[in-house]
Each structure stands twice: as structure tokens, then as C-alpha cells.
């Protein structure tokens, strides 16, 4: 898994630092790739107490996310002063002073830019404009103003123009990239071995290239990206295209490059003007990135592929690749919670698929759109999209897409609180997937069968499904399935009062969140940990974690988990104003439309808060709201908590009536039989008469205790 790999890399640094100090240098961070950025984001916040020093250089336009850390120091690199330029040139020429007129031109033209000072000084030394004497450098003849290059580009090109072969080697190397191998360079260039070796030695001697490895199997890297840019920009566009075409031709022969780095091949095909090949390789690169949850890279590859396709005329091949890329792009955007952008891409894909009569792609477009509407709480839209997906899947004759559509219909029923219908759809989906060995479909929807099993109070079956999913994830991937399974397991274990195991699943879930970047799940796992803290008496720690969760919910969209968080806040706080505001805001979000787990969890918490505050009518009202949302017999889970809340409210309101006592005892036995152990203590105490007190008083005491029972 991607997250495990990133954590292992961070762990290596920390392990090294335990043995000896570690220095990590990150050069040109403004060009950082998304995965390396994730490594740094994981590493840097945690080095304050480690023997690790990280030095990162970057241009002003880069905004490092770690700059606000207390242990981070930003040192702006300003232009060199006149004195510093003089010192730098003196050091480069061995301490001998340069002729004054030469030095003045260097100072004036470099404008204090260190790289320009270095390169221009070297250019002057190599130009023949000055000669070395015993104690200084003097001008050889007159020194025209134009003799010294006026820009860094001119300076670098003046040095590269020392020999035609040297310039061509640098130009081809620049086409390959910042780093390149001698083998690839030799394959592209039409130079004999002697000339190539001489040119490379000259570039090394001039400090423009650095070499690693032996001369025959060496790799080279440009000293600075600006050196590469200067060499690349000096090429005519026609020659650039020819060089990129040769590079692509050589790389195509390497099965390793095609398999492991199709984006490299795609880039060279793109620059060579071979747009159809480029688009094909961008498709491969996007698929490969998505498979390892490198979602930001997958998004970038899809966009590059669409750019390549824009150069092609209409046709069946272009249409097929455009649909693959747009649907892939929407998938990456959806996983990273960029819902509006994902919907826009699906809209564009639907137009193409409709015009070209592609039922299979239309099924996938509608399915993904329904999946996006699910966390947004758009019940009717979600159901309509998955129904359309099912119809198109049958029309296309795709069993796999039919199974996915069945799973989507289950999601839509679940979103509406129709737990029994949802469970049947998930049963049908999983059965179809298993019959045809569709492992990716099974791992996607088996977690949802676990969820409906949970709400049907079949806890053992639900946990079995969750364990099966986690096992499948290790074999076929699909971290989202693990997220749902970990969340479901943690909630069941909370109800069973198995707090260490519940927290273990919650923390594993947070690790899986990092793997795919689905931040909207963070509040669900933090909610479990916060309730465990609350149960242990750490209300302050619980509230701190819930505040973080609320901030994440607002960023990712409150429709997915906002009311879950607000219900827990109402339980944890002792501030009446904050409690009232949390309940008010939670209800407002529910009215706008939410995923159904919000209704279940929020109203359960609202009932408990009302019991704690002896607001019996409010407890009944929240139970009625839960029933209004989903009707009677929506699920055994919700039926139980509605009945429990009403019975405890009746006990608090009316005292030791025989019918109330009988109902409380019946609910207690039901809770024990079904493993809802967190709900038992309140029912246990409220249903047993106590010497010296009455049932009404006992119900009051119990209602003050149930707040610490997780749910």
C-alpha cells in the first residue's frame, strides 16, 4: 500500500537519526512531484525531537505546507551584494584580482544572482578576453561592452558553443531530461565514441554536467535546471521533435520503461508530435498511477492525455481514448473529494459516449456520478444514476458493470435509509461478483453488505464481511473498501464495549485514508477515538479531536460526516450553549440532505443528550425525527434505539409504572442478545427498583450516565 511505503520511508529517516544525525537536502522543491511532497508532508512535522536537519531550496512561487511549523525556519536568499560578488569572483579565479573593467561588467550584468556570477565568470575566463599574469588577470586588448554576455542564457550558450559536438551532446541530454544515461545519449546521437567521450569530458570539466558511475555506463545530471533549459531552448523546434522521436523509439524497445514509466515515453511522444502514441501512453500511466493510489499523478496524466488527444482528428480511436481518460480523470477527482470537477468531466464524457452510442461507457459514467451523489446526500439523483447505470450495463451485456450497478442501487437505498432493500441489492451484487470472480467488484460492495448487516444487528456476520474485505484488499487493492470495513468494525466494537479493538480499527482506518487521500472519512474514525476518550473521562481530549474533525468536515463537505461529529460534540460538551448550537446545526445539515449514517448516529446522540439533561419530551421528539426520516422498521438498529430512548424518557417522566419496567427489561435482554452491550447499563439500572428510591429518580441518574456510553 502506498501509505505503508511512505511511512516506511519516514521510518527509515527516524531510524537513521537514532544512530547518527541525518541531513536531508531537497533541491528545487518548486518542481516536486506529488508523491515526494507527501513524503515530506509526513516527515517534516515529526522531526522536531529527532536528529534530522532538512534543507530545502525553492523558488518564491512555491508555498511549502510546512513553513508554519514551530521548528521550521525560512531563510530568503537575496541577491548578492557588490562585496559578495567580488569575493565570489576572487574565489573562483584563485584569489587573483580581475581587471577592474571586467569585474564592473560582471557586477552590473549579473545583478547579484549567484548562478549568473559563477557562469559569467567562467565564460570570461574561457573566452580569451583576459590573460593571467603572476598576480592578477588583465584584459587582452580592448574590452567592448558586448564582449561579455548580458544574460545568463547568453553566458551559458557562450560556454556550450565551445565545440559543436559539445553543444549537441548538451542539447540531446536536455531533451532526455535533467538526468540521462550515456547509453541513451549514444543511441540518439550520431557521434563516434571518441567524439562523444570528448564532448562529455568537456562538459564535465566546465562544471555543466556531473557524472555518476564509470565512463562506459555513466549517468549524467545537469548542474542546474537553467543549464538544461539553456541547451534545450537553443534547439530549433524541428530538431527538438526529431530528437524526442529518437528518444521515444529507443525507450519503446525497453520493456522496463514501457511497463514502469509509461509517462516518460508519453512525454517524448508528445514532444515529438506523435500525439496518438502519446495519448495511449498517458492512458497507461494514469491507470498505473491510479492502481497504486497516486491519485494526483493519475489526474495529471489524464489531463496530459486529453491535451494530446486535442491534436487528433475525430475518429473511433480518439473517442475510445477520450472516454477512458475523462472517466479516469473523474475517478481521481472523486477519490480526492473534488466533486464539482469530477461531475464536470463526467458531463463531458457523457456527451461523447451518447454521440458515439457507447452503452458500456455510459453505464460507468452514470455509476460514478451516482457514487459522487452518495456522499453529497442527493438521494433521488443517486438512485436515478444507478438505475440508468444498471440499464446501460444490461444493454452492453457487461456482467461486471451490472454487478457494480446493483451495488450502486444498494448505495442509493442505503442513502434513503431503506436498509432491508439496500441489503438485498448488496447480496445480489456480491453473489454475482463471486459467481464470475469479479474480485474488484466484490471488494467494493462487500463492505456495504457489512454495513447493512450491522444495522440489521447481525454483528457477527458484519464483522466476518469486514475481515473478508480486509483480506481481499491485501490481495487486490481497493483501499476504499478497507475504509468502510474499518469504520463498520470500529462502530460494532464500540457497541460491544471492546474499546482497544475499536480504536485499533479506527487508527488503521486513518492510515488507509492517507493511502487514497479520502479525507472525508477522517471524522468517522476520529469520532470513534473521541468517544473512547469520552468513555475514559477525557472530555477535553475528545472535544479537541472532534474540533479537528469538524474542520475536516467543512473542508471535505459536511453532508458526509458533519452531523456525526456534531452529535458527538453535543455529548462531550458541558457548555449548554455549545450543546444547543451543535444540535441545531446538525439538524440543519440533515435537512439539506446527508448520507444516512448521519441520521442514525446524530439522532442516537441527540436522544442521549436529551436523556442526560432530563428533557424527556426532547428525547421523544428526536426519536420521532429518526422514525420520520426512515419510517417504521427502517432497521433493527434504529428501531432499538428509538424504543430505548422513548422507554427511558417514559421512566423519567412517569416513574415506576409496571408497563415501563417491563419494556425496559425487554429492551435490556434484546440488547444483550444482539451484542449492543454499551446500551445495557442504562437499561439495567433503570429497570431495577432500588431500596430508598423510586424508578423515576433511578431513570434520572441513568440518563446522566448514558452520555459516556459510545455509539
Q: Which pLDDT does position 39 carry in this prediction?
A: 85
pTM value is 0.67
Is residue 315 pLDDT above 60, yes or no? yes
Strands 52-56 and 22-26, by their bridges, are parallel
Average pLDDT over residues 637-644: 93
- Per-residue confidence (pLDDT) for residue 58, from 0 to 100: 87
Q: Contact, 282 vs 325, CB < 8 A?
A: yes
Q: Which residues contact 137 (CB under 8 A, 6 or more apart)?
A: 93, 96, 97, 98, 99, 102, 125, 130, 131
Find out whether 446 and 482 touch, Cβ atoms under 8 Å: no
Least confident range from 514-518, 580-584, 594-598: namely 514-518
Nearest to 568 by CA among 525, 606, 541: 606
d(CA 25, CA 567): 46
Half-sphere exposure for 508 (CA within 13 Å, toward CB): 19
What pLDDT, on a 0 to 100 scale, did the predictor assign at position 557?
85
Task: Measure the CA–CA gap between 603 and 618, rounded to whole angstroms.
Answer: 11
Higher pLDDT, 606 or 191: 606
CATH for 255-447, among 3.10.129.10, 1.25.40.10, 1.10.10.370, 3.10.105.10?
1.25.40.10
- Between the alpha carbon of residue 140 and those of residues 98, 135, 137, 147, the distances in Å are 12, 15, 9, 12
pLDDT at 693 over 50: no
Residue whose C-alpha cell is 455510459: 362
Q: Do strands 209-212 and 219-222 pair parallel, antiparallel, or not at all (unpaired)? A: antiparallel
Residue 564's pLDDT is 95
DSSP state for residue 150 in the 8-state scheme: S
Contact by Cβ (8 Å): 409, 387 = yes
Class in CATH terms, 161-235: mainly alpha
Question: Hey, where are the domains in the chain?
Answer: 2-56, 82-157, 161-235, 255-447, 602-711
Query: Which residue did the predictor score with more confidence, 94 or 581?
Result: 581
pLDDT band at 706; cut points 50, 70, 90: very low
Lowest-confidence segment of 109-113, 248-252, 645-649, 676-680 by average pLDDT = 109-113
Using CA atoms, how far apart are residues 298 and 285, in angstroms rounded to an integer?
7
pLDDT given at position 375 = 81
Location of C-alpha cell 464470475: 436
Kindly state the cell numbers that stand for 542.
475528545
Quickly state the pLDDT bin for 475 (edges 50, 70, 90).
confident
607-638 residue pLDDT tens: 999 999 999 999 999 999 999 887 666 789 99
Question: Any idea which residue has 512525454 for its cell?
Answer: 267
Surface-to-core class of residue 631, CB atoms within 10 Å of its CB (0-12 exposed, 13-18 middle, 19+ buried): exposed
CA pair distance 700, 710, nearest whole angstrom: 19
Round to whole Å and give the CA distance between 550 and 59.
Answer: 34
Helix, coil or strand: residue 113: coil
Counts of helices then strands in the chain (DSSP H, E):
35, 7
Percent of the chain residues topping a pLDDT of 70? 92
DSSP 642-686: HHHHHHHHHHHHH-S-HHHHHHHHHHHHHHHHHT-GGGHHHHHHH
Query: Does the pLDDT value for residue 692 go beyond 50?
Result: no
Mapped to the 3 state alphabet, what secondary structure does 474-506 carry? Answer: HHHCCHHHHHHHHHHHHHHHHHCCCHHHHHHHH
| Spatial distance between the Cα atoms of 707 and 521, rounded to a whole number of angstroms | 24
C-alpha cell read off for 346: 463526467
**3-class secondary-structure state, position 284:** helix
Q: Does residue 2 carry a pLDDT above 70?
A: no
- pLDDT-derived band at 163 (thresholds 50, 70, 90) equals low
| Joined grid coordinates for residue 344 | 464536470
Long-range contacts of 399-403 (CB under 8 A, 24+ apart): 399/432, 399/436, 399/438, 400/436, 400/438, 400/441, 401/360, 401/363, 401/364, 401/367, 402/432, 403/429, 403/432, 403/433, 403/436, 403/438, 403/441, 403/445
How far is residue 584's CA from residue 399's CA, in Å, rounded to a whole number?
46
C-alpha cell belonging to residue 133: 599574469
Q: What is the pLDDT of residues 396-432, one digit of tens each?
A: 999 999 999 999 999 999 888 888 899 999 999 999 9
| Closest by CA position to 684, among listed 127, 96, 676, 692 | 676
User: Cα 376 from chain centroid?
Assistant: 19
Higher pLDDT, 46 or 568: 568
* List of residues 6+ apart from 108 with CB closer than 8 A: none
Is pLDDT above 70 for 694?
no
Among 674, 527, 543, 529, smallest CA distance to 604 is for 527
Helix (H) or strand (E) segment spanning residue 229 = helix 225-233
First to last CA, the chain: 30
CA triple 20-24-28, angle to 5 deg: 175
Per-residue confidence (pLDDT) for residue 323, from 0 to 100? 96
* pLDDT for the residue 698: 47
- What does the DSSP assignment read for 290-331? HHTT-HHHHHHHHHHHHHHHTTSPS-HHHHHHHHHHHHHHHH
Above 70 in pLDDT, residue 704? no
- What phi and psi values does residue 694 have, to the nearest 5 degrees? -115, 170
**501 pLDDT above the threshold of 90:** yes
Beta bridge partners of 221: 179, 210
pLDDT tens for each residue of 528-558: 999 999 999 999 999 999 999 999 999 888 9
Tell me the per-residue pLDDT of 190-239, one tens digit each, with 9 for 90 and over: 888 888 889 888 888 888 888 888 766 789 998 877 788 888 988 899 99
pLDDT tens by residue, 122-142: 877 777 777 788 778 887 766
Amino acid at each position: 500500500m502506498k501509505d505503508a511505503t511512505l511511512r516506511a520511508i519516514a521510518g527509515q529517516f527516524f531510524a537513521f537519526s537514532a544512530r547518527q544525525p541525518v541531513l536531508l537536502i531537497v533541491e528545487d522543491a518548486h518542481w516536486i512531484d506529488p508523491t515526494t511532497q507527501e513524503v515530506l508532508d509526513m516527515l517534516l512535522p515529526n522531526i522536531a525531537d529527532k536528529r534530522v536537519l532538512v534543507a530545502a531550496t525553492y523558488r518564491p512561487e512555491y508555498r511549502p505546507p510546512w513553513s508554519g511549523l514551530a521548528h521550521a525556519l525560512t531563510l530568503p536568499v537575496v541577491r548578492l551584494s557588490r562585496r559578495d560578488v567580488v569575493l565570489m569572483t576572487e574565489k573562483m579565479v584563485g584569489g587573483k584580482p580581475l581587471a577592474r573593467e571586467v569585474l564592473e561588467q560582471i557586477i552590473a550584468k549579473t545583478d547579484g544572482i549567484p548562478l549568473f556570477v559563477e557562469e559569467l565568470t567562467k565564460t570570461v575566463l574561457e573566452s580569451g578576453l583576459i590573460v593571467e599574469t603572476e598576480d592578477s588577470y588583465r584584459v587582452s586588448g580592448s574590452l567592448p561592452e558586448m564582449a561579455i554576455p548580458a544574460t545568463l542564457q547568453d553566458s551559458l550558450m557562450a560556454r556550450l558553443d565551445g565545440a559543436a559536438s559539445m553543444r549537441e551532446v548538451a542539447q540531446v541530454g536536455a531533451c532526455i531530461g535533467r538526468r540521462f544515461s550515456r547509453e541513451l545519449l549514444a543511441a540518439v546521437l550520431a557521434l563516434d565514441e571518441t567524439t562523444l567521450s570528448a564532448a562529455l569530458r568537456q562538459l564535465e570539466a566546465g562544471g555543466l554536467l556531473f557524472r555518476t558511475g564509470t565512463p562506459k555506463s555513466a549517468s549524467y545530471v545537469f548542474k542546474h535546471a537553467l543549464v538544461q533549459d539553456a541547451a534545450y531552448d537553443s534547439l530549433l523546434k524541428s530538431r527538438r521533435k526529431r530528437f524526442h522521436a529518437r528518444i521515444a523509439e529507443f525507450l519503446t524497445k525497453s520493456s522496463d520503461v514501457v511497463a514502469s514509466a509509461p509517462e516518460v515515453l508519453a512525454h517524448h511522444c508528445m514532444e515529438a508530435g506523435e500525439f496518438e502514441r502519446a495519448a495511449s501512453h498517458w492512458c497507461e500511466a494514469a491507470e498505473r498511477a491510479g492502481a497504486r493510489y497516486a491519485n494526483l499523478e493519475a489526474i495529471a496524466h489524464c489531463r496530459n492525455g486529453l491535451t494530446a488527444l486535442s491534436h487528433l482528428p475525430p475518429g473511433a480511436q480518439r473517442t475510445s481514448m477520450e472516454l477512458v481518460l475523462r472517466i479516469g480523470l473523474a475517478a481521481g477527482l472523486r477519490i480526492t473529494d473534488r466533486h464539482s470537477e469530477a461531475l464536470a468531466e463526467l458531463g463531458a464524457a457523457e456527451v461523447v459516449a451518447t454521440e458515439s452510442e457507447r452503452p458500456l461507457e455510459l453505464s460507468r459514467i452514470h455509476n460514478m456520478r451516482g457514487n459522487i451523489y452518495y456522499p453529497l446526500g442527493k438521494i433521488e439523483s443517486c438512485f436515478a444514476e444507478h438505475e440508468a447505470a444498471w440499464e446501460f450495463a444490461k444493454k452492453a451485456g457487461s456482467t461486471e458493470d451490472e454487478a457494480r450497478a446493483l451495488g450502486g442501487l444498494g448505495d442509493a437505498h442505503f442513502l434513503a435509509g431503506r436498509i432491508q432493500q439496500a441489503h438485498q441489492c448488496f447480496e445480489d451484487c456480491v453473489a454475482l461478483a463471486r459467481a464470475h470472480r469479479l474480485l474488484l467488484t466484490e471488494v467494493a460492495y462487500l463492505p456495504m453488505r457489512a454495513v447493512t448487516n450491522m444495522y440489521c444487528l447481525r454483528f457477527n456476520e458484519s464483522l466476518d464481511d469486514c475481515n473478508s474485505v480486509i483480506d481481499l484488499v491485501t490481495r487486490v487493492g481497493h483501499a476504499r473498501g478497507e475504509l468502510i470495513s474499518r469504520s463498520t468494525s470500529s462502530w460494532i466494537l464500540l457497541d460491544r464495549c471492546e474499546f482497544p479493538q475499536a480504536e485499533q480499527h479506527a487508527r488503521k482506518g486513518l492510515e488507509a485514508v492517507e493511502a487514497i487521500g479520502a479525507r472525508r472519512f477522517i471524522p468517522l474514525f476520529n469520532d470513534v477515538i473521541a468517544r473512547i476518550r469520552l468513555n475514559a473521562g477525557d472530555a477535553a481530549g475528545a472535544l479537541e479531536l472532534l474540533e479537528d474533525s469538524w474542520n475536516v468536515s467543512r473542508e471535505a463537505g459536511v453532508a458526509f460526516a458533519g452531523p456525526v461529529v456534531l452529535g458527538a460534540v453535543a455529548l462531550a460538551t458541558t457548555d449548554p450553549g455549545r450543546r444547543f448550537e451543535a444540535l441545531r446545526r446538525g439538524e440543519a445539515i440533515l435537512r439539506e440532505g446527508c448520507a444516512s449514517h448521519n441520521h442514525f448516529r446524530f439522532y442516537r446522540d441527540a436522544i442521549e443528550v436529551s436523556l442526560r439533561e432530563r428533557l424527556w419530551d426532547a428525547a421523544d421528539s428526536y426519536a420521532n425525527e429518526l422514525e420520520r426520516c426512515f419510517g417504521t422498521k427502517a432497521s433493527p438498529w434504529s428501531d432499538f434505539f428509538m424504543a430505548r430512548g422513548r422507554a427511558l424518557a417514559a421512566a423519567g417522566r412517569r416513574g415506576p409504572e409496571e408497563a415501563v419496567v417491563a419494556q425496559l427489561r425487554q429492551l435490556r435482554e434484546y440488547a444483550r442478545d444482539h451484542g449492543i452491550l454499551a446500551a445495557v447499563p442504562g437499561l439495567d439500572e433503570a429497570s431495577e427498583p432500588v431500596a430508598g428510591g423510586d424508578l423515576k429518580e433511578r431513570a434520572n441518574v441513568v440518563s446522566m450516565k448514558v452520555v459516556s456510553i459510545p455509539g
